[in-house]
């Protein structure tokens, strides 16, 4: 005789948390703009040489994320492979979040294609129950953006994530507190948001195979064997709110990374270093925007056959201007780079980030010199804000700025870069809402 799992939370919705996840977002944006593509195997990422997003028709044919173009053509000869248009995708993303904010101001922009929303207490003001509100938000998103969204409604963020993944594509899954156990009993522990492969393997060894097995373990057992984040996940699975919906813009980062893949691959080390210099400038721009400084950085070079080399460098004080980083990177660059080697990508990661401060004078007055550079970059950032990113850039980045990121078949520009509106330039855009094509 089978034993029915016992409920672990009796309240229907102590809080009502919605998770919204766009289905195949980049590919869906392309199909929303061009409805003739619907029902076809659409793939984005041509400029990178790999699939970054694909429609369900492409997935059914065997295309997977990260698959090379040459392999895509073998498994799906009729694939429609498009260059990624991230500017357009970001406009769709803004529209998505704006639609959700019609119903609640408590919206957390978790990524470009997903968000959390807190619906708690909105039943009376909106004259609908939580399930109806969730359904109305999904209908508005589907209709107005011309693509589908998978939605989960539950008492916590972790459970809402379970719901949005439950039925894809275009699913709406409601998980009231008294039914949590029914879903957790069918969910493998490795599918829980926040549980990695190593933790899942350990839990399996302990006889914990499903999310329900995990959620019904005792508090003492969890605390004795797992870390605080996993204890918090355990609580969320049981219907206890640990992770609130955060509406604040993210300004704290553990690291900042910028990478750049270019085609064709190059033997010219000066060009490759220029690409790295541009990455460093981009990383520093983001660090300054968020008032952060780096105490350490790491950079890498990637060859045409996907071999990596790199270095990690400590700084003598926190910085967010590129001069010092580029100078130090150059010293190591020519030590680790190899002549007559084809390179296809460079990348930089700013590490040990901290809040920007006035700094202290050192023996050689380097901090005072850095302060002068900071004043210069305040002007540079102001010019970029007015006229577009990289209006002013360093000479070491000149060749990267002057060259196309991709040439040949992979260099085909995305739609948004080809069609500029009045008042726009290649470096400065105006924030227009994205409208869907109507045939």
What is the set of active-site residues? 114
Assign 259 to helix, strand or coil: strand
Residue 16 in contact with residue 244, Cβ under 8 Å?
no
CA distance 24 to 85: 14
* H/E element, 432: none
Provide φ and ψ at 170, rounded to 5°.
60, 40
Cα first-last separation, the chain = 58
Distance from the Cα of residue 101 to its chain's centroid? 21
CB neighbours (10 Å) of residue 72? Answer: 24
Q: Taking the CA of residue 391 as centre, how many other CA atoms within 13 Å lie in the half-sphere pointing to its CB?
A: 13
Residue 69 in contact with residue 49, Cβ under 8 Å?
yes
Which tokens in the block code for residue 135? 């359904």
Residue corresponding to tokens 């797992």: 226
Residue 20 in contact with residue 145, Cβ under 8 Å?
no
CA distance 188 to 17: 22
Measure Cα distances from 301 to 52, 223, 262 in Å: 21, 42, 12
Task: Calculate ∠ Cα 61-304-266, nearest 5°.
Answer: 125
Burial 80-90 (b: 16+ CB within 10 A, else e): bbbbbbbebbe
């Amino acid at each position: 005789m089978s034993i029915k799992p016992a409920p672990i939370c009796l309240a229907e919705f102590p809080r009502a948390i919605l998770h919204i996840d766009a289905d195949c977002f980049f590919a869906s944006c392309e199909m929303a703009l061009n409805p003739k593509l619907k029902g076809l195997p659409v793939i984005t990422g041509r400029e990178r040489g790999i699939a970054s997003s694909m429609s369900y028709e492409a997935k059914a044919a065997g295309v997977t994320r990260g698959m090379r173009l040459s392999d895509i053509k073998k498994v799906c000869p009729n694939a429609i492979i498009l260059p990624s248009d991230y500017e357009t995708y970001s406009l769709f993303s803004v529209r998505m979040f704006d639609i959700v904010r019609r119903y609640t101001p408590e919206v957390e922009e978790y990524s470009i294609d997903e968000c959390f929303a807190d619906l708690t207490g909105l039943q009376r003001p909106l004259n609908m129950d939580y399930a109806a509100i969730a359904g109305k938000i999904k209908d508005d998103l589907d209709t107005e953006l011309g693509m589908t969204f998978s939605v989960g409604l539950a008492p916590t963020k972790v459970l809402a994530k379970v719901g949005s993944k439950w039925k894809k594509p275009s699913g709406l899954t409601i998980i009231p507190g008294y039914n949590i156990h029914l879903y957790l009993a069918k969910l493998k522990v490795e599918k829980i948001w926040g549980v990695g492969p190593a933790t899942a393997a350990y839990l399996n060894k302990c006889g914990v195979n499903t999310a329900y097995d995990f959620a019904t373990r005792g508090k003492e057992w969890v605390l004795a064997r797992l870390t605080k984040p996993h204890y918090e996940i355990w609580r969320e699975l049981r219907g206890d709110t640990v992770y609130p919906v955060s509406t604040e813009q993210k300004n704290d980062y553990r690291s900042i990374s910028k990478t750049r893949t270019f085609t064709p691959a190059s033997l010219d080390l000066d060009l490759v270093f220029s690409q790295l210099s541009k990455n460093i400038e981009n990383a520093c721009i983001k660090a300054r925007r968020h008032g952060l400084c780096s105490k350490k950085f790491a950079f890498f070079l990637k060859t045409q056959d996907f071999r990596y080399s790199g270095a990690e460098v400590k700084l003598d004080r926190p910085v967010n201007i590129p001069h010092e980083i580029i100078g130090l990177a150059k010293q190591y660059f020519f030590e680790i780079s190899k002549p007559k080697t084809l390179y296809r990508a460079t990348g930089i990661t700013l590490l040990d980030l901290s809040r920007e401060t006035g700094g202290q004078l050192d023996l050689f007055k380097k901090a005072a010199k850095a302060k002068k550079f900071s004043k210069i970059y305040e002007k540079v950032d102001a010019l970029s804000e007015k006229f577009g990113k990289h209006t002013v850039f360093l000479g070491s980045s000149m060749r990267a700025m002057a060259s196309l990121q991709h040439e040949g078949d992979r260099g085909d520009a995305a739609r948004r870069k080809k069609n500029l509106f009045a008042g726009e330039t290649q470096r400065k855009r105006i924030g227009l809402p994205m409208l869907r094509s109507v045939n």
